[in-house]
């Protein structure tokens, strides 16, 4: 967010008093609409923090939710929480007193770094998550060959590192600035200190805002749109095949049609929300770079600044709704976690309806905890397929067969190193839960 004075923004003034000069160059200490903006930001803060904390708790407490896809959601929730907790309170404080800056240079630079890094991480995580969905739906066999939680963790770690490196120039060039009175005299006014990255602070010829717009908005936006168009076409083609193959009838299965429409609706919501929340933010930055010579720059920049700021932080609140609350599987896990449903009821007494998320176009596979001498537990998953036998599922035996001691040990995530202990993490099958297309 950039709402800073510059040499080209206002005509030079020399005959003003000290107070008038400061007010003319920096505006009033309290920005317009401070109270209503604060109320809006408070609602965004509470909703976003509660929603993202709920996501983290649900994924951490429910083993069935610990998939590669949900790891991306966990990372997204962490980045959104960081943005809301570390960025939004400071944004609100500037509406009430935008100068002088009182927290020193380290906090000034850290503020810029955290804001940019978390924003970039959110964008890159959305792209990675969209790629996971694309592979799971359009190229399931390829996705299985490269699937796994360790791969997802490595990718998430790489995203945070890339975001940190990409955001570092903003921390370098952001500093505490002062007005000089009289102008050019070298006499800095301490009461005018403000934390910002002015055009004068950036090396000439370094398009920092343009690169941010290109690499972390325009390119990700195009990638997401292309991926979701391909996903929608794949779902549509599978729906058409299913319709023509069901008992020779051309009528679509009602459940399949509803499920497919829900998927497409959510994908459209993802693209629209991403564009609506981030476009004004980058537009305000580019307007700061290229629009300062316009006669109406100051008034328009103030309006864009307020509007883009609300949408900027709103994006961190919308993600839990779009990616989780629209998912039947998440709602089930959310309800069980917050109501202690999973800990107050034994596993063998759980209702199958509470643990299965199915579409009429899916086939069901099971993931079983391989325990020597332990009762196995059914972990139904979903996987997009053209053929589906309604109501059918596979239950593996309730005991794990003994493995001959002379048999070489096989590296399997379902067994501990000695083959005796019962692990918490289920064995992954070719229909890995991380590749589920359930939403």
At 373 the pLDDT is: 35
Class of domain 18-333: mainly alpha
Q: Is 151 helix (H, G, I), strand (E, B) or coil?
A: helix
Write the Ramachandran bin of 412: left for phi over 0, alpha for psi from -120 to 50, otherwise beta.
beta
CB 376 within 8 A of CB 397: yes
d(CA 355, CA 378): 9
Contact residues for 1 (Cβ-Cβ < 8 A; gap 6+): 91, 281, 284, 305, 308, 309, 312
- Report the residue count for the chain: 439
pLDDT in tens, the chain (439 residues): 555 554 444 444 445 677 778 887 787 878 878 899 999 999 999 999 998 998 888 888 888 778 777 888 899 899 999 999 988 998 898 889 888 888 888 999 999 999 899 999 989 998 988 888 888 778 876 655 555 678 888 999 999 999 999 999 999 999 998 888 777 777 888 888 889 888 888 888 889 999 999 999 999 999 988 988 888 888 777 666 655 555 544 455 556 556 666 766 776 777 788 888 889 999 999 998 888 888 888 888 888 888 998 999 998 898 777 766 677 777 777 777 767 654 444 444 444 333 333 333 332 333 333 333 333 333 333 333 334 344 444 444 444 444 444 433 333 333 333 333 333 333 343 334 444 444 3
> Between the CA of residue 146 and those of 136, 203, 227, 397, what are the distances in Å?
11, 42, 18, 29
d(CA 296, CA 302): 10
At 352 the pLDDT is: 34
At 245 the pLDDT is: 56
At 70 the pLDDT is: 82
At 147 the pLDDT is: 59
> Which residue in this structure is represented by tokens 């972390």?
216
Buried b (16+ CB within 10 A) or exposed e, 210-226: eebbeebbeebbeebbe
Residue 100 in tokens: 């002088």
At 163 the pLDDT is: 95
At 253 the pLDDT is: 55
At 388 the pLDDT is: 38
pTM for this model (two decimals): 0.68
At 360 the pLDDT is: 32
Listed by start position, the domains of the chain span: 18-333
């Amino acid at each position: 967010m950039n709402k800073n004075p510059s040499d080209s923004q206002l005509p030079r003034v020399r005959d003003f008093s000290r107070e008038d000069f400061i007010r003319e160059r920096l505006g009033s200490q309290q920005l317009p609409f401070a109270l209503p903006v604060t109320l809006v930001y408070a609602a965004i803060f509470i909703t976003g923090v509660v929603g993202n904390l709920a996501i983290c708790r649900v994924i951490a407490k429910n083993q069935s939710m610990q998939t590669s896809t949900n790891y991306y959601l966990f990372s997204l929730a962490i980045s959104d929480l960081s943005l809301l907790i570390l960025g939004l309170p400071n944004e609100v404080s500037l509406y009430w007193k935008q100068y002088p800056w009182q927290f020193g240079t380290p906090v000034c630079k850290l503020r810029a770094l955290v804001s940019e890094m978390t924003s970039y991480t959110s964008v890159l995580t959305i792209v990675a998550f969209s790629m996971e969905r694309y592979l799971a739906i359009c190229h399931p066999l390829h996705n299985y060959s490269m699937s796994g939680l360790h791969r997802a963790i490595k990718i998430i770690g790489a995203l945070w590192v890339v975001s940190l490196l990409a955001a570092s120039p903003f921390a370098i060039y952001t500093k505490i600035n002062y007005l000089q009175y009289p102008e050019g005299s070298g006499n800095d006014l301490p009461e005018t200190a403000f934390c910002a990255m002015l055009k004068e602070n950036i090396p000439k010829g370094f398009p920092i805002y343009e690169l941010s717009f290109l690499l972390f908005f325009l390119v990700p936006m195009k990638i997401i749109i292309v991926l979701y168009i391909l996903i929608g076409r794949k779902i549509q083609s599978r729906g058409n095949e299913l319709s023509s193959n069901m008992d020779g009838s051309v009528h679509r299965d009602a459940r399949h049609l509803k499920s497919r429409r829900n998927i497409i609706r959510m994908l459209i919501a993802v693209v629209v929300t991403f564009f609506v929340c981030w476009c004004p933010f980058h537009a305000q930055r580019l307007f700061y770079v290229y629009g300062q010579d316009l006669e109406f720059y100051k008034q328009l920049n103030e309006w864009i600044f307020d509007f883009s700021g609300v949408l900027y932080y709103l994006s961190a609140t919308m993600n839990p709704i779009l990616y989780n609350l629209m998912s039947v599987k998440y709602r089930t896990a959310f309800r069980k976690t917050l109501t202690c449903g999973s800990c107050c009821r034994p596993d063998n007494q759980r209702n199958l309806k509470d643990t299965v998320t199915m579409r009429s176009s899916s086939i069901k596979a099971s993931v079983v905890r391989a325990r020597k001498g332990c009762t196995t537990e059914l972990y139904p998953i979903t996987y997009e397929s053209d053929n589906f036998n309604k109501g059918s599922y596979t239950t593996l035996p309730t005991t794990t067969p003994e493995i001959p001691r002379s048999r070489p040990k096989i590296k399997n995530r379902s067994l501990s190193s000695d083959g005796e202990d019962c692990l918490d993490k289920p064995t992954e099958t070719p229909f890995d839960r991380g590749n589920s297309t359930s939403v």
